[in-house]
Structure 1
Amino acid sequence: MTGPIVVINPNSNQAVTDGLEQALAAFRCGVGIDCVTLSEGPFGIESQYHVEQVALPLAALVKSRADASAFVIACYSDPGLDLCRATATVPVFGIQESGVLTALARGDRFGVLAIAEASIPRHLRYLRRMGVIDRLAGERALNMSVDESARGEGTFDRLVEVGHALISDGADVLILGCAGMARHRAALEAKLHRPVIDPAQAAVAMALGAVLNG
């Protein structure tokens, strides 16, 4: 029997995990998807310190789940990804890497809706390492917390505003730059008339492909 794909929310905010459960409901098609919260994590991963802080607890959680057929690290900074890959005996996917690769398959230039201005330099470093910075139309910040993005009443309107700005920058596909935004993907795509990538969904789709391929 195939074990579940374990989707780890590296922050301790259960609302983000609940949003992941909702966003991934349609992906439960013969392979289990287990969304879990890293209780040791900060309430929101919003700095480089937070990214480094969760690496070891993430690896410990990965090591403890011998039943898993794959892992997804559900934070757009892909914290601890290399360490978890070195620890696990099954595939491990980061949602930023997966979201960007999916966006490249859907459009020529992508734009990223970030949580905060402080996140953007960290994301740009990652894109340079991936070798895809020339395909970036722009990254713009909502300037709100992870918790606000997950359940704030004004989040969708702000996503629409920033999304329009990124389209003006030349983006023909948009990436949600935080797992907490997952619940807004479909409505935002309908509003902006552009593909909108939820990176957690992108990563789980890749994990499903890897698991179903044996």
Structure 2
Amino acid sequence: RYPNHLSLWKIGKNKAYMEEIKNVLEESNSFLQKTRDFQMKKKAFQEQVGSIQEKLEEFWEKMKAAKEEIKVLEERNKAGQEAVRVFLKQNQDIQEKNKAMYEKNKILQGKNKALQGKNKAFWKDCMAFWKKDEIFWKEELIQKEKGALRDAVEALWGKKFSLLKDVYIPPGEKKLPETEENNLCGNYEPTCQNRDGPYYFHPGSLKRS
């Protein structure tokens, strides 16, 4: 009888051990599963961390490139500011030159106005000179016409005298003077009478005697 109780106790004890072992195994399996899950999560986290690290590295590379671009832009901006400063200086110089040119142009306009006045006076003098020259030219034409008329009169008187020399003079009539002296003096011309007295036409002068 006692051995049976002992056997039952052992069987029950073994059953309890087996149940406990089963529970331990289940807990162990659960722990292993949790461990695997944790490892998977850890791996996923590490992958995320790696991806974040890569992104951070890319970000830092971009930041570095951006800094370089900013540096280049700063240099360009500095060069642009220098160019603007030079342009403003050149513009100021041009304005100063324009101001000086304006003053010179103002002086030149005054001189040009004075020159126009002198030119106007010069043209007045030229017009007066031309008028005098025209009068002189007309007087010269008159003198030429008088000379031509005098030559014509001399030719007529010469022809008339040659004709008179050939005219027959009856005996007892007074003959026209034929001496060289009378011919040179022109005393053979007929006289004309007016209120001022007698005057003679001389072929050489056409003047009143």
The answer to whether TM tops 0.5 is no
More relative contact order, 1 or 2 (CA 8 Å, 6+ apart): 1
Q: TM-score range by the shorter chain?
A: under 0.3
More helix by share: 2
More strand by share: 1
Provide the TM-score with structure 2 as the length reference: 0.17
Provide the TM-score with structure 1 as the length reference: 0.17
